[in-house]
Each structure stands twice: as C-alpha cells, then as structure tokens.
Amino acid sequence: MAEIDTLCGWGAQDKVDYFVANSELIVPNRKEQLDFLVDLLPWQWDQPIRVLDLGAGYGAVAEAVLHRFYEATVTCVDGSEAMMRHARTRLAKYGDQVELVLRDLAEPDWRRGIGGPFHAVLSAIALHHLTDERKQQLCHEVFALLLPGGLFVNDDVVEVPAFFQEHFALLVDRAIQEQIKMRTGVTRSIEEIRAERAAHLRPTGHSHIAPLSTQLEWWRAAGFIAVDCYWKFLNLAIFGGVKPPDDASPASVLG
Ligand SMILES: C[S@@+](CC[C@H](N)C(=O)[O-])C[C@H]1O[C@@H](n2cnc3c(N)ncnc32)[C@H](O)[C@@H]1O
C-alpha cells in the first residue's frame, strides 16, 4: 500500500516555492485574512503575548502578528523543511522572538517540547490537511496549551454545500483573477489560472476539507466558548473559540 504523505505534497520544493511567490495572488483576500486574524487578538499591541502558529509555512501569519504585536513571541510549527527554509529567511529580522519547530501535526506527539502556555494558537490554510479525527484531537491538544482566555483561531478551507460547489469554484477563480489584475495589471483567463494552479499545486487527494458547522462543534466539544465563524468568503472561513477565562469575565481575557 502506498504510504500516505501527511504533508500533502508540501515537502516538495517546487510546490512550496510557487506558493510562497504567489500566495498573495492565488489565495482570495489573502491580506484581508491575515489582517483579520491579527485583529481578532484582543490584547494591547505592546503586550508580550505568546502565539503558536500551526502549519506556519513560510511565516506569513507570524509576520503579521509580529508586525502589530512588537513584543510578541511566535512559535511556528510546520512539517515541511522546504517551507521552514523560507520562514527562516523571512523571519530572521525578528531574532529570538521567533522559534521554528519542525513537526508533523498528524502525529499527536508534535507538542513535545513546544513550550507554552500560549495566549493564542493560530493557523492558516493548513489544518484541512489533517484527517477529521486528528483535527478533533488537535482541538483538545490546543485547549491544553492555551492560557485561560486564550484563542484558537483557524483560517481554513471549508466544505461548500454540494449545490454550490461548482459555482463557488468559479467565484473563487474570478476573485483570484481580479486580485491578479489589481496587483499586477494583467488580466488572465480563468482557464489559465486553473491550469497554472493544477500544474504547480498538484492536489494530492489527501486533504480532508470538513464542513464549517461540524468544525464549530469540534471546538465546542473541546471546551471552547464564544465559538463562531468570524469571517467567511465562499470556501474560506476564519473560525474558532476562546478557552474559558478563570473568572469568566471579559476583562480577565485582556488582563
Ligand atoms: C498552504 S500552506 C499554508 C502556510 C501558511 N500557514 C500560510 O498561510 O502561508 C500549508 C502548510 O501546512 C503545512 N502542513 C501540511 N500538513 C502538515 C502536517 N501534517 N504537519 C505539519 N505541517 C503541515 C505545510 O507544510 C504548509 O506549510
């Protein structure tokens, strides 16, 4: 039996290089998503918050956090050496505010020596690579790593109702087309965009894209409160929850 690639192809240098060079073009509303992930963090910008970034890739989320929260430290976990090489270069200017940890999130022992507790655990476009079983376990693992009042927020691809699948796929590609035009001035056809993505990103078939409503239930089952989808565009959603604060008052989250 063929071995399952738990990284879903992200170990390959060419796939990684393509994503790193093009993520702001091929992920709809990429900048809005990264900005909003950081907007969700309810702390003062000068607080030395500790953040964990799961499936951190080349460090885009970490960089967005550190740009705003200049005293923060971010632990970036990813399973791809190729991605980590990019992260090392990109985040070098933050010195010891960043720690890069090579781990496979498909394995429950990824938490070994990971430190914490954390104020926030964030993830972008990564957790859909884990099986549904692992995603549920991860909710519990992250809960244990968070401070009371800490956030676990996932920015990820979610399952679209079958009725809309084809139409949403077209709308996603039109959004990408518009984004490319705005950023580069070039109008590319939908066919070109699809062909390029298929050639460079080579879907491996090992993704496990789950419905949003199911994932919100997993967050609740792990003990999170304030569980909701905070932002959504077609098949992309930013959702999560809060570990209950000790005294259950909003002020204790911010203290
Ligand atoms: C689409 S990239 C997103 C990277 C980054 N979060 C961003 O938004 O730019 C998906 C990332 O998930 C990581 N990943 C996928 N499966 C993983 C696993 N089982 N363990 C650790 N990382 C994984 C890949 O290596 C890759 O860096």
- The residue whose CA is least distant from atom 16 of ligand 1 is 7
How many A from CA of 85 to the centre of ligand 1? Answer: 13
Closest atom, ligand 1, to C-alpha of 104: 20
What is the per-residue pLDDT for 246? Answer: 87
The answer to whether residue 7 is domain-embedded is no
Check pocket membership of 106 for ligand 1, CB cut-off 6 A: yes
Query: How far does residue 129's CA lie from ligand 1's centre (Å)?
Result: 8
Residue 188 falls inside a structural domain: yes
Nearest to 28 by CA among 126, 230, 202, 173: 173
Domain membership flag for residue 3? no
216 falls within a domain = yes
Q: Which atom of ligand 1 is least distant from the CA of 82? A: 25
Asked if residue 105 has its Cβ within 6 Å of ligand 1, the reply is yes
Atom of ligand 1 nearest to the CA of 57: 27
Angle, in degrees to the nearest 10, between helices 190-201 and 13-26: 150
Distance CA 99, CA 117 (A): 15
d(CA 79, ligand 1 centre) in Å = 7
Cβ atoms < 10 Å from Cβ of 136: 19
Q: Which of left, alpha, beta for 15 (phi over 0: left; psi -120 to 50: alpha)?
A: alpha
State how far the Cα of 56 lies from the Cα of 53, in Å rounded to an integer: 5
Let me know if residue 8 belongs to a domain: no
The tens place of each residue's pLDDT in the chain, 255 residues long, gives 557 888 988 998 999 999 999 999 999 999 999 999 999 999 999 999 999 999 999 999 999 999 999 999 999 999 999 999 999 999 999 999 999 999 999 999 999 999 999 999 999 999 999 999 999 999 999 999 999 999 999 999 999 999 999 999 999 999 999 999 999 999 999 999 999 988 888 665 567 999 999 999 999 999 999 999 999 999 999 999 999 998 755 555 554
- Is the minimum distance from the CB of 125 to ligand 1 under 6 angstroms? yes
Instruction: Please tell me the distance from the alpha carbon of residue 214 to that of residue 135, in angstroms, as a whole number.
Output: 11
Q: Is the CB of 240 under 6 A from ligand 1?
A: no
Does a structural domain hold residue 1? no
5 inside domain = no
Per the structure, how many domains does the chain have?
1
Return phi, psi of residue 185, to 5°. Answer: 80, 0
**So what's the pLDDT on residue 205?**
56
Residue 77 and residue 114 in contact, taking contact as beta carbons nearer than 8 Å: yes
- The answer, yes or no, to whether any atom of ligand 1 lies below 6 A from the CB of 118, is no
| DSSP assignment letter at 236 | E
CATH code of the domain covering residue 63: 3.40.50.150
Residue-number span of the structural domain to which 144 is assigned: 13-254
Strand order in the sheet with 236-242: 98-102, 73-78, 50-54, 118-124, 146-157, 236-242, 225-233
Residue 122 to residue 142: CA distance in whole angstroms: 10
**Residue 87 falls within a domain, yes or no?**
yes
Give the strand pairing for 73-78 and 50-54. Answer: parallel
**Could you give the CA distance from residue 220 to residue 242 in angstroms, rounded to a whole number?**
10
Per-residue pLDDT, 255: 46
SS3 181: helix
